[in-house]
Structure 1
Amino acid sequence: MGVASSSERFHEVDAMRGIAVVMMIIYHVIFDLNFLGAVELDMNSPLIWLTGRLAAFLFIFLVGVSLSLSHSRRGSGCPGHYIKRGIRIFLYGLLITAATWIYPHKGFIVFGVLHFIGAAVIITYPFAGRRVLSVIAALLALATGMWVSGLRVDTQFFVWFGLKPPGFYTLDYFPLLPWIGIVLLGIFTGDTLYPGYRRRWKGKFPGRNPALEFLGKNSLAIYFVHQPIILAFIWFLMNI
């Protein structure tokens, strides 16, 4: 297969992101049912917890894969593109902060997945195209993150990094450590599987799934609208 044009997308990446969207929606339906008191569920039960964590892992891992693909397509001479994109996503995260400050207020989101992705895009794009460096940095970030997760400090100033005060509670929390290690693993994987913006493997790829690809291509928009829709629908059912 030749080098892909700038408009070509790898449908398997979109489909994987679509799977993450489906898992995210399932998890949030369960969370909202429990939050609104429609049902009583243990959100820390293995299956529910794993659904939420796996959705987050896929989203964040695919951020790295997408950075690798973008670097292969654009080259390393356009850092402004990644800085602008990172800032834009981070600002979207601040909108989520404002919304959760208004409702439900308790546990409002200070550094959730969008804050994290925005920061991670800016921090990790220099690693794209550097396989050895990205995997070493990933392992260091994951190991350091495991160590940091057990520490407690007397301020909330470093929650973005992974250092939390005792009793810290938030509805959505993805600190730089250890999660930036997952982005770096995604970059390593993208550089390995899609060198020069083409698939490394040959032969026929499994059949496409347009529905999952659509969800994957529109994951950011879906992230913004799905929670209000779910909450409104559950509230309506509880009050008819």
Structure 2
Amino acid sequence: MQTSPRSARFPLLDFYRGTAVILMMVFHFCWDWRYFGYLEYSLQDPFWVTFRAIILTLFLTAVGWSNYLAVAMQQSLTRYLSNLGKLALGAGLVSLGSWLMFPNNWIFFGILHFILIAGLVGRSIAHLPVLSGALGILLISLPYILPQVDMSELRRWFSSALGMPRQTLDYVAPLPWLGVVLVGPLLGKLGVHHIHLPSTKAVTWVISLGRYALPIYLSHQVILFLLVALIHFGWQWVRGL
């Protein structure tokens, strides 16, 4: 059966997003080993800061790219609202789950919360990819052009005015990351999603990860954390014999 244009999937976009999913799982798996004391490193180390930035860049450009394709293909309002609802539900589950596990530094504005808000902003100009890209580049450059622009003030406001935790497990600042979302439509305008991918099992697997990125995001850390916890407590039990 031939897929209608409005519901078509683009393997390259799913592969792109799937690559981000793999890197995210590696990042979180290492964090889990660090939490239980088997790895020692600082999240402020340049390697881990860069690693996280790569993951965010892939996910957030994919948001802008998807916005462009959705507008170009005249995505129905019903599907658009359904996607927003899934994101809002996912963001809420992340906040609730992190609050239950880590009440002192739960996630109040992580990547899903940011994608929900930035996606709405980006959607409004996704039909103008050149303008969106130019504005995105400007926003990315703004902290370098105007060093006095300090997004940490916004985070401090969240903490004081809204009673949010001073430390959080995940926080995505509006700058430069909104700019990264706005650059995404340029990938759609350039037609990058039409690039052909080889039909191998590895490629197909990565594509499937990208296709189900949201449920994987919501479930993977629970699974990985429990796995490492089981290994940790199992090892502690064996040592105590």
Structure 2 length normalisation: TM-score? 0.81
Counterpart residue number, 1:149? 150
C-alpha deviation, 1:192, in angstroms: 2.6
Q: 1 or 2, which has the higher helix percentage?
A: 2
The partner residue of 1:117 within 109, 112, 115 is 115
SS at match of 2:41: coil
Q: Give the TM-score normalised by structure 1.
A: 0.81
Amino acid of the structure 1 residue aligned with 2:219: V
- Cα distance per residue 1:33-61 (max 9 Å; x no partner): 11122332233333333222211210111
Corresponding residue SS for 2:55: helix
Distance, in Å, in 2 between the alignment partners of 1:27 and 1:139 is 27
1:89-140 deviation line (CA, Å, top 9, x unaligned): 1332122111111111222111000001111221111211212321232123
Aligned to 2:206: 212
User: Which SS does the other structure have where 1:107 is aligned?
Assistant: coil
- Higher mean C-alpha deviation, range 183-192 or range 209-218: 183-192
How many residues align? The count is: 224
Q: Residues of 2 paired with 1:40 and 1:131: CA distance?
A: 43
What is the deviation of 1:211? Answer: 0.5
1:173 partnered with 2:168: no
Once the two structures are superposed, residues 18-47 of structure 1 have per-residue CA deviations (whole angstroms, 9 ceiling, x without a partner) of 111110000001111111223322333333
**Closer, same or farther: CA 99–150 of 1 in aligned 2, 3 Å:** closer
In structure 1, the partner of 2:16 is 16
Q: Structure 1 stretch 44-53 or stretch 28-37: which is displaced more?
A: 44-53
Question: Are residues 45 and 63 of structure 1, via their aligned partners in 2, closer, same or farther at CA, if it must alter by over 3 Å?
Answer: same
SS in 2 for 1:223: helix
Could you tell me how far 1:221 is from its partner in structure 2?
0.5
CA distance in 2 between partners of 1:150 and 1:180 (Å)? 12
Alpha carbons of structure 1 residues 5 and 227: separation in structure 2 relative to 1, 3 Å: same
Going from structure 1 to structure 2, the CA distance change for 1:48 and 1:144 (only over 3 Å counts) comes to closer
Seen in structure 2, the aligned counterparts of structure 1 residues 109 and 229 have a Cα distance that, compared at 3 Å, is same
Equivalent position of 2:189 in the other structure: 191
**Paired residue secondary structure (2:225):** helix
- Identity in percent: 26
1:41 is paired with a residue of what secondary structure? coil
Q: Distance in 2 between matches of 1:159 and 1:20?
A: 34
Distance 1:191 1:225, change over 3 A: same
Counterpart AA for 2:124: P
C-alpha spacing 1:151/1:237, structure 2 compared with 1 (3 Å):
closer
Counterpart-to-counterpart distance in 2, 1:171 and 1:182: 21
Map 1:97-136 → 2, pairs under 5 A: 97-136=95-134
Q: CA deviation at 1:220?
A: 0.4
Q: Which residue of 2 aligns with 1:6?
A: 6
**Unmatched segments (≥5 aa) in structure 2:** 235-241
Greater mean deviation of Cα atoms: 65-74 or 143-152: 143-152
* Cα separation, partners in 2 of 1:5 and 1:80, compared to 1, 3 Å: closer
In structure 1, distance between residues paired with 2:186 and 2:160 = 28
Deviation at 1:150, TM superposition (A): 5.8
1:71 paired residue number: 71
CA contact (8 A) 1:90 1:119 kept: no
Q: Secondary structure at the match of 2:169?
A: coil
How far apart are residue 152 of structure 1 and its match? 3.0
Correspondent of 1:231 among 220, 225, 231? 225
Question: 1: distance between equivalents of 2:62 and 2:157?
Answer: 32
